[in-house]
Amino acid sequence: MKIVLFGASGRFGIQILEQALDSGHIITAFVRTPSKVQIQRPNLTLFQGDATDAEAVDKAISGQDAVISALGPSRPPVPYMMETAAKNIVAGMKKHGVQRLVSTAGAGVRQPQDEPKFIDLFMMALLNVLVKNVLLDVKENVKVIQASDLDWTITRFPRLVDGERTGRYRVGYVGKDSGTQISRADGADFVLKELVGREWLRKLPVASY
């Protein structure tokens, strides 16, 4: 499958990139700084651009079979960056007839099916104090994708940590089905399985230990 991966140079994006290449996919890695990707593979093309640049996003999506977005808020935060990126990705996919999108988000983006435990409520309160504007921008990113008619899945994750790819994790909603962390390697495993399997089409599952 030909996939454009946004956010490919981040710590999580690199895991998705490596596993996607190992699975035989043809990847266009969309990155602001190509030097951050220290991988050279026959099926890998580096595309330099900024996700807030509609023209660059449009060009990168052309000719792809699917899109994965592992974008996260920048440091320092850029106002409306996540929302703008989502709008550009959705517009590019519609223009070029690319239907399948898997995007990522934190477990702090709540859904009606969630049944948060005390620790979940505590973490949400903390995020609203420390990074309220960032959380709001991520929520707007999600809303843009949900409002589209694409075949989307938004994979949510709690705290991402270093660790091996085990393939052993839970998938469900915040609360009884979720834990407090997952390795980036296992998070990437779920993203790629869902991309092809489409079990959670137009849903926002949480993968965790």
Q: State pTM to two decimals.
A: 0.92
* Per-residue confidence band for 128, with pLDDT thresholds at 50, 70 and 90: low
Burial of 155 (0-12, 13-18, 19+ CB in 10 A): buried
Per-residue pLDDT reduced to its tens digit, 43-90:
999 999 999 999 999 999 999 999 999 998 877 778 899 999 999 999
Given a cut of 60, whether residue 130 has pLDDT beyond it is: no
Nearest residue to 198 via CA among 153, 143, 147: 153
Show the 3-state SS of 82-148.
HHHHHHHHHHHHHHHCCCEEEEEEECCCCCCCCCCCHHHHHHHHHHHHHCHHHHHHHHHHHHHHHCC
pLDDT value for 110? 81
Q: Which one has a higher pLDDT value, 112 or 58?
A: 58
Question: What range does the domain containing 146 cover?
Answer: 2-208
pLDDT value for 134? 75
Rg (CA), the chain: 16
Given a cut of 90, whether residue 164 has pLDDT beyond it is: yes
Pairing mode, strands 206-208 and 170-172: antiparallel
The number of distinct structural domains making up the chain is 1
Find the mean pLDDT for residues 31-51. Answer: 96
Percentage of residues in the chain having pLDDT higher than 70: 93
For the four alpha carbons of 182, 183, 187 and 189, in that order, the dihedral sign comes to: negative
- Compute the C-alpha angle 165/39/42, nearest 5°: 105
Q: Which residue has the tokens 């709008």?
A: 87
Q: Can you give the CATH number for the domain in which 177 is found?
A: 3.40.50.720
